[in-house]
């Protein structure tokens, strides 16, 4: 599902527009739109008119994603029975849904094969047609995913229903809007500005759900839990509940690759690498637009703040913890999980004592292991000058040693000092681990590392200190976050490799 | 000298007499009298300054009791030379050595320095200023001198916090330390220094990249009396506020060219130290605010204040005049707003003023200078550069009242003429006189000065175009002690004038740029006779040819620096 998953990240409006043109290739799918629409329009109103018997469901709707609320109906032609079945889960319905999905995927496979064959004839297709076909696939995939999610959504425990706090009317209205989004025939730009928070949530959650189908349920739960809180307020200092909490599974976190080639299935760690790889699959991937970094926030609309939870129960970074402190980015999650809950399997090849669970940590350590030491006459070594000076100030008679080989001790930039104090908490990681470091020192280091994990910013800046980039830890700490954006951008619309139409720009931006 | 006289003068009496001879020339004469006096001189001599390193060993043998060795004129000294000095010098010559001047000894390495320092068990002071190549190793070598009280490391560019830490730990009795231009030193080093050396009395951190954090450390020094922090552009008012409550013995502070400090910082500093004696705050404020002037009122002990380049008001000068009765030195160089009225207010209270700098205070006229001359009889130094309104009238008052005047700067005062110089010749104590760009003076005026101011050591006649050979003749016969002379662009001077100059045996610095009438003959005469000549500027002396330079190379053994340009490109190696 993964390759297709990345394809489907195309935006909704576009796909909706393109389902209608009668393309020859689309005939096998052409039956879809009408039932979709029919169900769609009916379902909410039915819900709305439902008497008290279905009250709990109505309450539940706003908590769930719209995608669930409206999409769960999609595959089911019998929408009236569906609402009832949601309450007590029906395996038959589930089975139905799954087989439906299977069928659709097969159809899609055929379509892709067809396109693939066509590609072999260079002059057969104008570019526009190719684009249309791709968009078509996207549309189909989108619907598949939506259905899949809704199917999974039906499994959600009924507990969440009680979390509802918005009025049913509002929720219904927002649902209607949500309906407009994927299937509206008008220009997407016209709809988009109206879309409030709810729609964005909708989009984002899809992005997150797509790759990890196994965890669809899990993620949905996350979103539902937070959704009611999101409606309250979106603040800068992030009071609890002002952000969306996502939680990846352990397997997801430890997965070596996050980007997969839609054609050959090869995995990559970075989207950029994937894009480079894609060039080999055809000329259409070589256009500057296809090679460009897919997604840049224009900042026109405030993006919902996402925060991450560690799946490890009992961890302070786990959302169930009393003093839960969320992780900022997915990279934070990965590093945190590896550092805190995994074995330290990488050993420094120089000192053979220091171990790391994150490769990058090892590399930064190795870069400085045994080097750049601030040495005291008593033999103690320090990785930072201010620590050495603190030591010398403390002990009578100790004095800095000057290495024999070099003619000059490398001078650290003077602004080190100003940075030092601002990051007192951070630097502890940077004690030097020479060939024979004092034991207690090391213990302390390890402890310090753990202590630092609590604060992602500090943690990254501490890394930065090891990298000796004293001057600008701000820039440095920035890069991981940026990277994390990129590494998960396969979820975003842009990773679909064709040039977006100008008319659809706003939509893709929003995604 | 007869035998009987020597019988009367016992050795201890001779030593006493000798103590009253200060100048090198006098001592030289003393040494030349007889063997006996020579022996007394060599036994009592404690200070020795080596002009040429080849004589070092002999001199070390001769002067057994030296306490101060000055090698600043021997930049070629290296580790090998040190080894020879230590092994072949008179036995134990280093035992009494207390002061070592190695300024500009750039050839010295850390091992030689360490040997030298270790060989001097009583060493108390080391000066390695301007040894730009020195770094942490050399600092570590110096730190072997555990009794050191004074270290001067100006412009040791390689010294970092590590080197400073070595010295701070090794020389914990340090009282005076200068770190000027040691750019690598940061707050960290200064902080450690302040933690280790509690006895510091004098600290110079000029031009370091230290911040207010350093001042917090410095504020903890209980014995600090002098703090010099010129051009510490990262220090701000916060730092000065630290000082307000620290350094209880602080007497002297120099915050010149600290761009980031303001009046409020100075106010807090001043209010914390009412017994400040010296303040220098030039080029760090744009103007003196009212509250600051008000604060300065409380400084009754204040004797030196320099606020160059600041906009001042009559009110300030009046306040100083009224309240600071002990003011001795006032620096108002390039201050805006200094008026006659202000000066009148000032001097009415400050009768004890000795040094007054009014450079570029262009609105000052004769009236103010006359008042200064009449009310400040102790005036020693007066700088009036670019005070165009000054004429012979006020010089009359100076010449008749300020008989102690030693230094006068009249550069670019076009009102000065021969009559003014005649009046000025009343100041018989004059040592330093600057008459550059005074184009109205001639040989007659100069002769007056020359015959009456016989202590003159430094004379600037830059572009005094009417000065010619006759003036130099008068100088040569009158000012025998002249050491520094500038006759650049005095085009009337010829070889004859040079001939006269050659009678100035003490002359060590001669600037004679653009003397187009001087040829190699004149230069040869100077080179032959002026044995002490060390600095010579011959730029644009186009008639001087190779023979002149041959003469210089051959005769002027002490020549260290020569500037020549246009035509000849000879460079003498320092010998």
CB atoms within 10 A of CB B46: 13
Q: How far is C-alpha A446 from the geometric centre of its chain's CA atoms?
A: 29
pLDDT beyond 90 at A35: no
pTM for the full model?
0.60
Using an 8 Å CB-CB cutoff, list chain B residues near A416.
186
pLDDT beyond 70 at B29: yes
Within B246-369, strands assigned E span 252-254, 278-280, 304-306, 329-331, 355-357
Give the model's pLDDT for residue A271. 84
The answer for residues whose C-beta is within 8 angstroms of residue B491's C-beta and 6 or more apart is: B465, B514, B515, B516, B517
H or E stretch covering B485: strand B484-486
CB neighbour class for A117 (10 Å; exposed up to 12, middle 13-18, buried from 19)? exposed
Whether A399 sits inside 8 A of B211 (CB atoms) is: no
H or E stretch covering B407: strand B407-409
Give the model's pLDDT for residue A313. 85
Can you tell me the mean pLDDT for A51-71? 42
Checking phi first, is residue A359 left (phi over 0); if not, alpha (psi -120 to 50) or beta?
alpha
Whether A389 sits inside 8 A of B140 (CB atoms) is: no
User: Token pair of B1, please?
Assistant: 């000298």
Please report, for chain B, how many H helices and E strands are present, in that order: 24, 21
Q: Which chain A residue has the Cα nearest residue B158?
A: A408
Higher-pLDDT residue of B2, A8: B2
ipTM of the complex: 0.84
- The DSSP code sequence of B30-67 is HHHH-HHHHHHHHHH--EEE-SSGGGHHHHHHH-TT--
Q: Please report which confidence band the pLDDT of residue A353 belongs to, taking 50, 70 and 90 as the band edges.
A: confident
The beta-carbon neighbor of A409 closest among B160, B169, B191 is B160
Domain ranges of chain A: 243-290+304-345
SS (H, E, C) B417-449: CHHHHHHHCCCCCCCEEECCCCCCCCHHHHHHH
Using an 8 Å CB-CB cutoff, list chain A residues near B171.
none
A424 close to B (CB below 8 A): no
pLDDT beyond 90 at A184: no
Least confident stretch, B30-34, B123-127, B156-160: B30-34
User: Token pair of B42, please?
Assistant: 């060599």
User: Token pair of A89, please?
Assistant: 């889960």
Residue B275 near residue B301, CB atoms below 8 Å: yes
pLDDT beyond 60 at A336: yes
The beta-carbon neighbor of B165 closest among A399, A414, A417 is A399
Instruction: Give CA–CA dist A17/A135, Å, rounded.
Output: 9
CA distance A382 to chain B (A): 13
> CB pairs below 8 Å between A and B: how many?
52
Can you tell me the mean pLDDT for A101-129? 71
Using an 8 Å CB-CB cutoff, list chain B residues near A400.
162, 165-166
Residues of B with CB under 8 A from a CB of A: 135-137, 140, 143, 158, 160-162, 165-166, 169-170, 184, 186-189, 191-192, 195-196, 209, 211, 213
SS (H, E, C) B487-512: CCCCCCCCHHHHHHHCCCCCCCEEEC
pLDDT beyond 50 at B311: yes
A279 close to B (CB below 8 A): no
Domains in chain B, CATH or no CATH each: 303-415 (3.80.10.10), 442-574 (3.80.10.10)
Mean pLDDT of the residues in chain A:
58
Instruction: Give CA–CA dist B240/B211, Å, rounded.
Output: 11
Give the model confidence (pLDDT) of A388-431 as tens digits: 999 999 998 899 988 765 444 444 333 333 333 333 333 333 33
Residue B152 near residue B129, CB atoms below 8 Å: yes
Whether B135 sits inside 8 A of A389 (CB atoms) is: no
Q: For helices A197-209 and A168-183, what crossing angle results, to 10°?
A: 60
Whether A400 sits inside 8 A of B191 (CB atoms) is: no
- Pick from B221, B166, B169, B167: nearest CA to B199: B221
Can you tell me the mean pLDDT for A361-373? 79
Can you tell me the mean pLDDT for A272-289? 84
Give the torsion through C-alpha atoms of A345, A348, A354, A359, to 10 deg: -50
Residue B486 φ then ψ, to 5°: -120, 115
A394 close to B (CB below 8 A): no
Pick from B113, B135, B136 the residue to mutate for testing the A interface (most A CBs within 10 Å).
Answer: B136
Whether B166 sits inside 8 A of A397 (CB atoms) is: no
Using an 8 Å CB-CB cutoff, list chain A residues near B162.
400, 402, 409
Give the model's pLDDT for residue B52. 83
The beta-carbon neighbor of A414 closest among B143, B165, B209 is B209
Give the model's pLDDT for residue A44. 41
Give the model's pLDDT for residue B513. 92
User: Token pair of A204, please?
Assistant: 């984002």
- Pick from B533, B452, B468: nearest CA to B500: B468
CA distance B574 to chain A (A): 28
Instruction: Give CA–CA dist B205/B550, Å, rounded.
Output: 45
CB atoms within 10 A of CB A177: 18
Give the model confidence (pLDDT) of B319-346 as tens digits: 888 888 889 999 999 999 999 999 999 9
Give the model's pLDDT for residue B138. 93
């Amino acid at each position: 599902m993964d390759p297709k998953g990345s394809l489907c990240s195309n935006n909704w409006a576009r796909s909706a527009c393109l389902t209608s043109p009668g393309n020859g290739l689309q005939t096998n799918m052409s039956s879809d739109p009408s039932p979709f629409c029919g169900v769609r329009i009916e379902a909410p109103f039915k819900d709305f008119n439902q008497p008290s018997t279905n009250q709990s469901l109505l309450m539940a709707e706003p908590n769930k994603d719209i995608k669930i609320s409206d999409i769960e109906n999609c595959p089911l032609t019998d929408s009236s029975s569906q609402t009832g079945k949601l309450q007590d889960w029906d395996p038959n319905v589930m089975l139905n849904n799954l087989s439906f999905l299977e069928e659709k995927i097969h159809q899609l496979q055929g379509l892709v094969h067809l396109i693939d064959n066509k590609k072999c004839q260079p002059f057969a297709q104008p570019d526009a047609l190719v684009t249309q076909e791709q968009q078509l696939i996207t549309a189909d995939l989108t619907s598949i995913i939506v259905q899949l999610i809704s199917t999974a959504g039906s499994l959600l425990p009924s507990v969440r229903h009680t979390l509802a706090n918005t009025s049913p009317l509002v929720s219904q209205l927002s649902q209607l809007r949500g309906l407009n989004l994927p299937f509206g025939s008008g220009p997407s730009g016209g709809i988009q500005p109206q879309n409030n928070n709810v729609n964005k949530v909708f989009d984002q959650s899809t992005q997150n759900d797509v790759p990890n189908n196994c965890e669809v349920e899990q993620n949905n739960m996350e979103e539902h839990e937070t959704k009611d809180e999101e409606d309250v307020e979106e603040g800068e200092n992030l009071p609890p509940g002002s952000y969306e909490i996502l939680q990846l599974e352990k397997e997801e976190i430890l997965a070596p690759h996050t980007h997969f080639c839609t054609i050959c299935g090869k995995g990559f760690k970075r989207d950029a690498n994937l894009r480079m790889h894609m060039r080999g699959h055809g000329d259409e991937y070589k256009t500057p637009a296809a090679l460009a970094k897919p997604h840049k926030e224009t900042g026109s609309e405030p993006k919902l703040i996402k925060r991450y939870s560690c799946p490890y129960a009992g961890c302070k970074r786990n959302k169930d913890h009393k003093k839960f402190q969320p992780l900022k980015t997915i990279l934070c999650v990965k590093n945190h999980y590896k550092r805190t809950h995994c074995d330290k399997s990488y050993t420094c090849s120089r000192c053979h004592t220091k171990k790391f669970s994150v490769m990058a940590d090892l590399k930064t350590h190795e870069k400085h292991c045994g080097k750049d030491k601030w040495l005291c006459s008593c033999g103690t070594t320090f990785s930072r000058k201010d620590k050495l000076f603190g030591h010398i100030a403390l002990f009578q008679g100790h004095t800095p040693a000057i290495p024999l080989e070099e003619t000059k001790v490398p001078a650290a930039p003077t602004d080190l000092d100003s940075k030092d104090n601002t990051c007192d908490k951070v630097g502890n990681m940077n004690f030097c681990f020479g060939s024979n470091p004092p034991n207690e020192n090391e213990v302390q280091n390890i402890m310090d590392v753990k202590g630092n994990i609590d604060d992602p910013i500090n943690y990254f800046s501490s890394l930065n200190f090891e990298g000796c980039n004293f001057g600008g830890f701000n820039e440095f700490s920035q890069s991981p976050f940026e990277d994390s954006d990129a590494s998960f951008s396969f979820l975003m619309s842009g990773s679909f490799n064709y040039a977006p139409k100008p008319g659809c720009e706003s939509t893709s931006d929003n995604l | 000298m007869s035998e009987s006289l020597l019988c009367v003068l016992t050795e201890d009496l001779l030593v006493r007499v000798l103590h009253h001879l200060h100048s090198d020339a006098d001592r030289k004469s003393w040494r030349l009298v007889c063997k006996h006096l020579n022996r007394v001189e060599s036994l009592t001599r404690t200070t020795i300054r080596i002009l040429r390193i080849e004589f070092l060993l002999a001199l070390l043998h001769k002067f057994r009791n030296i306490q101060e060795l000055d090698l600043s004129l021997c930049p070629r000294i290296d580790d090998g030379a040190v080894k020879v000095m230590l092994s072949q010098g008179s036995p134990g010559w280093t035992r009494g050595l207390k002061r070592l001047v190695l300024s500009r000894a750039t050839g010295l390495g850390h091992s030689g320095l360490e040997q030298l320092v270790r060989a001097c068990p009583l060493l108390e002071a080391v000066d390695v200023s301007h040894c730009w190549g020195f770094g942490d190793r050399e600092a570590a070598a110096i730190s072997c001198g555990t009794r050191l009280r004074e270290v001067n490391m100006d412009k040791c560019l390689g010294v970092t916090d590590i080197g400073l830490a070595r010295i701070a730990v090794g020389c914990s009795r340090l009282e005076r330390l200068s770190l000027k231009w040691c750019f690598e030193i940061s707050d960290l080093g200064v902080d450690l220094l302040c933690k280790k050396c509690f006895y510091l009395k004098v600290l110079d951190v000029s031009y370091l990249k230290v911040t207010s954090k350093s001042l917090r450390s410095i504020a903890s020094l209980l014995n600090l009396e002098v703090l010099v922090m010129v051009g510490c552009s990262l220090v701000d008012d916060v730092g000065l506020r630290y000082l307000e409550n620290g350094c209880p013995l602080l007497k002297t502070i120099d915050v010149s060219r600290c761009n980031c400090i303001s009046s409020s910082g100075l106010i807090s500093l001043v209010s914390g130290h009412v017994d400040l004696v010296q303040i220098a705050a030039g080029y760090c404020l744009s103007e003196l605010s009212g509250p600051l002037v008000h604060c300065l009122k409380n400084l009754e002990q204040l004797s030196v204040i320099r606020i160059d380049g600041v906009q001042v008001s009559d009110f300030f000068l009046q306040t100083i005049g009224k309240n600071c009765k002990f003011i001795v030195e006032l620096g108002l160089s390039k201050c805006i707003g200094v008026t006659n009225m202000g000066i009148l207010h000032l001097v009415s209270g400050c009768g004890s003023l000795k040094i007054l700098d009014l450079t570029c205070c262009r609105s000052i006229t004769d009236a103010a200078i006359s008042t200064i001359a009449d009310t400040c009889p102790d005036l020693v130094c007066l700088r009036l550069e670019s005070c165009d309104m000054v004429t012979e009238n006020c010089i009359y008052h100076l010449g008749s009242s300020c008989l102690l005047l030693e230094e006068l700067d009249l550069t670019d005062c076009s009102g000065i003429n021969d009559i003014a110089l005649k009046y000025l010749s009343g100041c018989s104590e004059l040592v330093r006189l600057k008459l550059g760009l005074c184009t109205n003076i001639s040989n007659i005026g100069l002769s007056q000065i020359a015959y009456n101011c016989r202590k003159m050591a430094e004379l600037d006649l830059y572009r005094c175009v009417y000065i010619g050979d006759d003036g130099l003749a008068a100088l040569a016969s009158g000012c025998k002690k002249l050491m520094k002379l500038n006759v650049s662009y005095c085009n009337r001077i010829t070889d004859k004038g040079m001939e006269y100059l050659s009678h100035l045996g003490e002359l060590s610095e001669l600037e004679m740029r653009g003397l187009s009438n001087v040829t190699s003959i004149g230069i040869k005469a100077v080179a032959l006779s002026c044995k002490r000549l060390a600095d010579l500027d011959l730029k644009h002396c186009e008639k001087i040819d190779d023979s002149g330079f041959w003469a210089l190379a051959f005769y002027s053994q002490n020549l260290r620096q020569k500037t020549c340009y246009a035509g000849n490109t000879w460079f003498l190696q320092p010998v």
